[in-house]
Amino acid sequence: MLGKIARKLRIFGFDTVYESKIDDMDILNSSKYHGRIVLTSDRALFRRCKKKGLDTILVDKRTEVENLVTIFRSLDVESINSQELPNFCTCCNGLLDTIIDKNSIKNKIPDRLLHTKDIFYKCSQCNKIYWIGSHMERIARLIKEINMKL
């Protein structure tokens, strides 16, 4: 239920686990075992986490920006630094490594990118290739909006 927020958190540098098909008991056990904070919009799950002494944040605002601001305030994050992006794969949460030799990925990306982009990143787990594209302009606007509200 919070997949889009999970992807944004990864973009912002937060180590974020998201599974769409997981039951509440597995969430509780995983959070306790791994020491993770549970983000949920499910009030019953939120109460169960609190009752078990688990760190949890209720994400129940109307907009994505409001929810992200709620999360960051709960974590005492004062601002998001766009200079430190990207960090984690938006798909699998793997760490992104900078690709030194862009010719090593020439068969994995469109030819036009080889000539227009200098920096590429590769996920250490799923091998997805990333580059700074126009989507980062949208992310920069989102960061600015979040930072104004923090």
Name the domain count of the chain. 2
Question: Confidence band (pLDDT; 50, 70, 90) for 87?
Answer: confident
What average pLDDT score do residues 107-121 get?
A: 92
Distance CA 49, CA 27 (A): 9
Q: Are residues 66 and 116 in the same domain?
A: no
Question: Confidence band (pLDDT; 50, 70, 90) for 104?
Answer: very high
Question: What pLDDT was estimated at residue 49?
Answer: 97
Q: Report residue 27 as tokens.
A: 């969430």
What average pLDDT score do residues 108-128 get?
A: 93
Provide the domain limits for residue 107.
87-131
Q: Are residues 110 and 96 in the same domain?
A: yes
The pLDDT mean for the chain works out to 93
Distance CA 99, CA 80 (A): 25
Distance CA 67, CA 90 (A): 18
Question: What pLDDT was estimated at residue 82?
Answer: 73
Q: Are residues 65 and 107 in the same domain?
A: no
Q: Are residues 54 and 117 in the same domain?
A: no
Q: Which residue has the tokens 């760190």?
A: 55
Q: Are residues 43 and 2 in the same domain?
A: yes
Residue (of 33, 36, 57, 35) closest to 45 by Cα position: 57
| First CA to last CA distance, the chain | 24
Tens-place pLDDT, residues 37-80: 999 999 999 999 999 999 999 999 999 999 999 999 999 999 99
Which is it for strands 96-99 and 120-123: parallel, antiparallel or unpaired?
A: antiparallel
Q: Are residues 123 and 148 in the same domain?
A: no
Q: Is 72 exposed, middle or buried (0-12, 13-18, 19+ CB in 10 A)?
A: buried
Q: Are residues 12 and 47 in the same domain?
A: yes
Q: Are residues 34 and 71 in the same domain?
A: yes
Q: Are residues 25 and 68 in the same domain?
A: yes
What average pLDDT score do residues 98-123 get?
A: 92
Could you tell me the pTM of the whole model?
0.88
Q: Are residues 74 and 115 in the same domain?
A: no
Q: Are 96 and 121 in contact (CB under 8 A)?
A: yes
